Amino acid sequence: MLLCVTASHKTASFELLERLSRTPDDVAPTIVGMTPCVQGAVVLATCNRFEAYVEMDEPLTAAGAIGVEAVIEAVESATGIPAAELDGAYTVHSGRRVAEHLFSVASGLESVVSGEGEIAGQVRRALKSARKDGTTSPELERLFQRASQAQRKVKNVTALGRAGRSLVRLALELADSRIADWSAERVLLVGTGAYAAVTLATLRERGAVDISVYSPSGRAAVFAAKHGIRPVAADEYARTAAHSSLLITCTTATEPVLGPEHLQLPVAAVAAGCPVGAHSRLVVDLGMPRNVDPAVAALEGVALLDLETIRLHAPLEELQATDAARSVVREAAETFHVVGSRQSVTPSVVALRSHIFELLEREIDRARARGDEDGKVEQALRHLSGVLLHTPTVRAHELAAAGRADEFTAALAALYGIAPEADASAADDAATA
């Protein structure tokens, strides 16, 4: 049984999401260690959501409730956030709803900016992290791999990718009205990860040329050499920050890396008309947890644009593109469910086929002993067994697609006294016999 516990910008405060994102790497291993009923866990933590995908032992009574409890306890253990504080801040998806939700998330349909592209990479990295920690499972692997496929199909067959804008683009669009000439801006980029690369590309699209980069983790020189910009050493950071007119932070640091102490030198006012007011310097904080000390906003001549503010300015969804994308997602989720259902009934189908083939071989041996030299009896028996197996096999898949695979298994036990093989690999081998 698949389960998803999700807290996002739709259900939780920005402050709570920020706290949840501080130690996401510890949550999945903690969930798996909570109870043997949990077969796997993958945690997806982004700037606007925190989600735990869990596979539970299907036959378990109240598996859903046990899974949610394990997630909440693991979050409390890893982040220190009391379970009571999470009440009302998350929603739960189970069964076939899980695939549709993740496929929507991976396609950018649940993002602050509908269609934003960064989330697809974050979904892939969540699975990679689970593999590294040994917390994934075969069904979670299948779920996340199909999510990436669904995202690519949405991108290829709908206009959502073209209509959607990333948080980086939206932030710079909000800065557009205060910047008369991007080429004249003194830009300081703080961070060297994937978001930093996207930010740099977007800045250059707008015409920015005077760009420096600082890395709290010491990777500025490598990043700068790769992208053809200036690196900033640690001892130059404060001076460069104070002389920059546009500062964009996007690091994975868990504590603020930019504060009032870095912005003490006054800079002449540049322009007016920004959505956040007329200021001489604009600080854009794309970090989660936040990279910038909120006290920066109180400095004279400094405007702070953080994720919470960006979210308030997010545009309305492109309805036509979004509707088409959701149709693709629903179709992909249904296919995922049908394939999974067929896999769930496969051991029972294999058990029936094995039973029939065993009886068949006995009758063929008897026919040969009685003189079936030309093999006509054997041929007739093999044809008959194929005919007899066809309808039950088709019916098994139909029942599985309707979520009633257990009825087929129960019928086998009642009619033939047989049960499916516990070993899936053995079942697969028998199915191809």
- The catalytic residues are 47
Q: Which among 156, 96, 127, 155 has a CA at the least distance from the CA of 330? A: 96
Bond prior to 231 in cis (omega within 30° of 0): no
8 Å CB contact between 419 and 413: yes
Distances (CA, A) of 136 to 38, 114, 262, 301: 10, 28, 42, 49
Measured CA to CA, the distance from residue 49 to residue 164 in angstroms comes to 18
Order of strands, sheet of 38-46, starting from the edge strand that comes earlier in the sequence:
38-46, 49-56, 2-8, 91-94
Q: Which two tokens stand for residue 325?
A: 């994308």
Check residue 59 and report its DSSP letter.
T
Check residue 273 and report its DSSP letter.
-
Place of tokens 């076939």: 96
Q: Which amino acid, one-letter code, is at 20?
A: L
Distances (CA, A) of 209 to 265, 286, 316: 22, 21, 31
Q: Which among 215, 217, 211, 156 has a CA at the least distance from the CA of 187? A: 211
Which residues contact residue 382 at a Cβ distance below 8 angstroms, ignoring those fewer than 6 apart? 360, 364
CB atoms within 10 A of CB 390: 10
Measured CA to CA, the distance from residue 1 to residue 67 in angstroms comes to 10
Measured CA to CA, the distance from residue 325 to residue 108 in angstroms comes to 10
CB atoms within 10 A of CB 359: 12
Measured CA to CA, the distance from residue 348 to residue 316 in angstroms comes to 49
